[in-house]
Amino acid sequence: MILSLALLSLVSCDKDVDLPNQITIFDGFYIYGSATPMAELDNENFMPIVKEGEYEVEGQDDKVKYNLYGRFINLKSGAIIVSKESNSTVDQRFSTVYGKDAEGLVVENGENPIEFIEAAGMYFVRMDTYNKELSLTAIASWGVIGDATPGGWGTDTDMTLVAEKSDELTYVYTCDLHLEGGKKFKFRANDGWAVNFGVTDGSVLQDGDNILVGETGEYTVTLTLGRKNSYTITKN
């Protein structure tokens, strides 16, 4: 009996060793390529939904629902690959790769690659599958703005980049400031509204709802940008 158990143990160990290491890729949109910090597909390249909405289409009564996918990422000269993954692993891909067609629209299986030729730096990249566009906005700064902040809705309180986790493509911005209870704020880039984040149904989204402050006091506000965008507000 002891010999039989030992043999079973050896067989089980051999089977465990021989199993392939299959790393599951989350379903959704990804950005990678030589222009990005990661040249190959990886879960860290995931592009979260950054906006949900509806388009009004001429001649149709029903509005068309859409999602915008986006990522705050460091770019340099090279190729950008955008793909949609479904039931993929690192070793076995079920990818729909996007490229440009003859008219410059970003479409499934487009014949022309997406080349990044702008100045190197931080960009907010948005993929609009409905309008077939990949937009790039250079990001120089992030700030907090709103009637809850010292500058009101007219002047940003600048945030500082305090952590850059290059292996996770995650960037953390923070600031300490006085906030007024019962009033609101949101995040925006470049002291403008082209790229701004609020919170809708618990998700950090482009053009999302203003964020309500519960109590007046001194706070540390943190914005984390990565494969999932999030924020924290901590009373000091």
DSSP assignment of the chain equals -HHHHHHHHHHHHHHHHHS----BPPSEEEEESTTSS-SS--GGGEE-EEEEEEE--TT-SSPEEEEEEEEEEEE-SEEEEEEEESS-BSSS--EEEEEE-TTS-EEET-SB-EEE-S-SEEEEEEEETTTTEEEEEE---EEEESTTSTTTTTS-EE-EEEEEETTTTEEEEEEEEEE-TT-EEEEEETTSSSSEEEEETTEEEET-PPEEP-S-EEEEEEEEESSS-EEEEEE-
Would you state the pLDDT for residue 60? 77
pLDDT at 135 (0 to 100): 95
Indicate whether 13 pLDDT > 70.
no
Give the CATH number of domain 142-235: 2.60.40
Enumerate the domain spans of the chain: 28-138, 142-235
CATH class of 28-138: mainly beta
Domains 28-138 and 142-235 share a fold: yes
- 219-232 mean pLDDT: 96
Stretch 167-182: mean pLDDT: 93
- pLDDT digits 0-9 by tens, 79-102: 999 999 988 887 888 889 999 999
Name the pLDDT band for 59 (thresholds 50, 70, 90): confident
The pLDDT of residue 180:
98
Q: What is the mean pLDDT of residues 205-228?
A: 96
pLDDT at 3 over 60: no
